[in-house]
A and B are shown apart, each in its own frame.
With several copies, the nearest count.
Chain A
Amino acid sequence: MNLQLSPEDLAFRDEVRAFLREHLTPEIVYRSRTEVHPPNEADRRWWNAVLNTRGWAAPSWPVQHGGPGWTPIQRHLFEMECRLAGAPELRWQGLRLIGPVICEFGSDAQRKRYLPTILEGTEQWAQGFSEPGAGSDLASLKTTALLAGDEYVVNGQKLWTTEGGDAELGFFLVRTDTTSKHGGISMLIIDMKSPGVTVRPIEMINGDVSTYEVFLDNVRVPRENLIGEPGSAWTQTKFLLANERTSSADIDKAWGDLRRIRASAARERKNGRPLLEDPAFARRLAQLEMEVEALDWSVLRVLCGAPSRRPVAAAASVLKIKGSSLQHQLGQLAVDALGPRSLRLYTREQAFAAEPSALWPVDVPGARADQLYMRACTIYGGAMEVQKNIIAKIAFGLA
């Protein structure tokens, strides 16, 4: 047992910090720290390119496909430092979801076609998994892709396609074999500009649009856009999820939130003293910081493959449950710290453009939009209730 960061890891962290100091500008950091969803598109494309120049755009990819060859701990340190420094959050769909899948399961032609533009950040991806009748329950997918000559003809409807509005490409779960109930699901790459693809924005609870409904109406897709063998999407999806086992903890965001909340509470005054010194508020903040630190170490345990009496998939669900419930609590604490001024809603554009003032300090824009948006985090990516089912089953054998 050795619970300290190695000298190499500490040196790595210093290197990341220096890089971040060198490249990030105050304007970009300001916009990142609003925590508005989705982040400013120009910023993230620029940052993707900057990181790519350094070979750091795709920490989770194999070296031969452009990854930096970091250990899991180094990836974790990198993400944490980026968040704390206020770097824009890159789009996940290409770099973290489909990219690794193409590296692992894609054909050489697919790798050659798609990986470079993901690394450069010049083509954006959308994910088409959920459907109106199938949220957490992928077995009841209805979208079909039936072979007609050398093309699949795709029909169906996808929901919760995050950032689908300006994506050039999409990866979709489709049924290529309609005879089997549980098999026959494949992963298909679809050009979002194909005829028959219609994208409808969904206005979210915070007044912004971050996710879309995608209608697929006789969309013709070249046969070579299928990833791997027909019917193998279950394997690919499991790989994709295992690859992101710890990210649902949202641990770097949680630490960033705590910083912002402390800043708010140091300025806000209650009973003539800083809110941060109100004993009940201080205790509530300490409680959350303690929970976040514990979650951080839970992430480290998974990353380091720490021994456990229970399967690692149970640990992933534990991270998701605690991470998302902490997001709820952090969001609420953030608006509670701001008091009534948290009631003002800033749209994305207003938040990015806001000029801080005495009445509306720098930590106000975005706090409420983030709090409202994060009500979704106990629902997306496998709802809380589904995660509890998983834990009961695989950790305790209860079903």
Chain B
Amino acid sequence: MNFALSDEQKMLADSAARYVRERCDLESRRQAAKSPDGFSRRHWRHFAEQGWLALTLPEDAGGLGLGLADMVVLMEELGRGLVAEPVVDSAILCGTLLAEGNHAPSRAELLPRVASGEAILALAHLEEGGRAEYDTPVAARATPDGDRWLISGTKHLVCHGPAASHLVVSAEVAGEMGYSLFLVEAGANGIARDDYSLIDGTRAADIHFSDVPATVRLQGAGGAARALHHALDRAVIAGAAAALGSMEAVMDLTADYLKTREQYGQPLAGFQALRHRMAEMLVETEQARSLLYAALAALDGGDGEARARAVSGVKALVAQAGMFVTGQGIQLHGGIGVTEEYAVGHHYKALQLFDKRFGDSDFHLDRRARTAPTH
């Protein structure tokens, strides 16, 4: 057992850390959040050039074929910089669905464009009444029409839907049990969007499909749910790594603040209650990091149940720990912590987002409780 980063991982971490340090200042992050896409096209191009979007995509389709551990190393650094770009949604979540889908031509044609950042993929799956991507009801319908399908229905909270070039859409084909996953172009006829912003500036949309033609079925009813769960699990791990980056950033910011800011004639660091809070923040962060390692181990070696167990554990624990750490970061900063003008509040919102995407803590605790324990 060995936790040390490989030389390649160290280089990856260093280059990401450098970019974040030099280019991802808060001001540019705030501007990106107010831009039409909700993220920075400049950063996005840089990510693509560095191969960060290609990282875990298969080598036979323009990817680098690296593993989840490498992705975790990258995502933690990006999380420190409050990454707003659709790395998780496009390259990991939908990238996995496309890479492991049953449609070779679209895989060969589109995946390299995902890796190059030219194409942006978004998942259109959640619907009214759904609280988690893992178990949302799917009322959307796909009607066979010659060698294609016509999709109708309304999808909810499609993250990065406004900027997406392609959508992965779930819909049920009449007579089949369970939904299939289709790939459609975002500009296809019959698509109408209501766009809005999420709390971190991410643009999302409700998307109405009205007989939208689809020629690519990535997964049929037999395998779609399993494939989607697998892709979601990977997205959870990536998001958890970014969340961990946020937690580390908040601890650094807060420790610095306590050392420099004075109150009642002494630095805030002179107050034991505040120092102890920092200690508690580290304790929770270390717990979160450890369970992320556990999940990497389970995804590497374990069976399906062990994987679900590990991923759900990470989802719940990182969200809880992260909301605690970033919330206390706000508290220790005092007033400036609750403004848009200071990074700590942005990290807090990033964690609130992580908590609610891909199933909340209650969902994942329940999912974990249904699995057999480790010992």
Contact = CB atoms under 8 A, between A and B. Distances in A.
A and B assemble together: yes
Interface stretch (B44-52, B163-171, B221-229, B335-343): B335-343
A1 interface: yes
Contacts of B271: 385
Contact of A205 (B126, B128, B349): B349
Contacts of A379: 330-331, 334-335, 337-338
A285 interface: yes
B375 A290 contact: no
A339 interface: yes
B291 A297 contact: yes
A282 B197 contact: no
Interface string B270-298: 01111110111011001110110110110
Nearest to A315: B286
B264 A137 contact: yes
Contacts of A397: 255, 259
A185 to B, nearest CB: 16
A133 B264 CA distance: 10
A205 B353 CA distance: 14
Interface residues of B, number: 85
Contacts of B360: 336, 339-340
A372 B346 CA distance: 11
Contact of B338 (A204, A278, A279): A204
A398 B278 contact: yes
A304 B297 CA distance: 15
A393 B334 CA distance: 22
Contacts of B375: 80, 84, 255, 258-259
B131 interface: yes
A322 to B, nearest CB: 5
A270 interface: yes
Nearest to A259: B375
B276 A344 contact: no
A4 B301 CA distance: 8
**Residue in B156, B258, B317, B334 with the greatest tally of chain A CB atoms within 10 Å:** B334
Contacts of B291: 290, 293-294, 297
Interface in A323-375: 328, 332, 335-336, 339-345, 358-359, 368, 372-373, 375
Interface residues of A, number: 100
**Residue in B69, B157, B288, B375 with the greatest tally of chain A CB atoms within 10 Å:** B375
Given A282-B369, A307-B5, A341-B156, A358 B128 contact: yes
A375 B258 contact: no
Given A344-B198, A385-B274, A372 B341 contact: no
B199 interface: yes
Contact of B365 (A160, A286, A306): A286
Contacts of A269: 129, 131
Contact of B290 (A140, A262, A270, A298): A298
Given A343-B198, A398-B255, A387 B297 contact: no
B71 interface: no
B250 interface: no
A202 B341 contact: yes
Interface string A183-212: 000000000000000000011111100000
B1 A304 contact: yes
Interface string B60-102: 0000000001000000000000000000000000000000000
Interface of A: 1-6, 9, 73, 80, 84, 130, 133, 135-137, 139-140, 159-160, 202-207, 255, 258-259, 262, 268-270, 278-283, 285-287, 289-291, 293-298, 300-301, 304-307, 309-310, 314-315, 317-318, 321-322, 328, 332, 335-336, 339-345, 358-359, 368, 372-373, 375-376, 378-380, 383-385, 387-393, 395-399
Given A321-B280, A390-B279, 20 more contacts: A3-B3, A4-B300, A159-B335, A202-B339, A205-B345, A205-B348, A258-B373, A283-B369, A290-B313, A291-B287, A307-B4, A318-B282, A322-B283, A336-B360, A340-B357, A344-B196, A344-B204, A376-B338, A392-B275, A395-B279
14 contacts: A1-B9, A2-B2, A135-B263, A140-B265, A160-B335, A268-B131, A269-B129, A286-B368, A294-B291, A301-B293, A343-B204, A345-B198, A379-B335, A398-B278
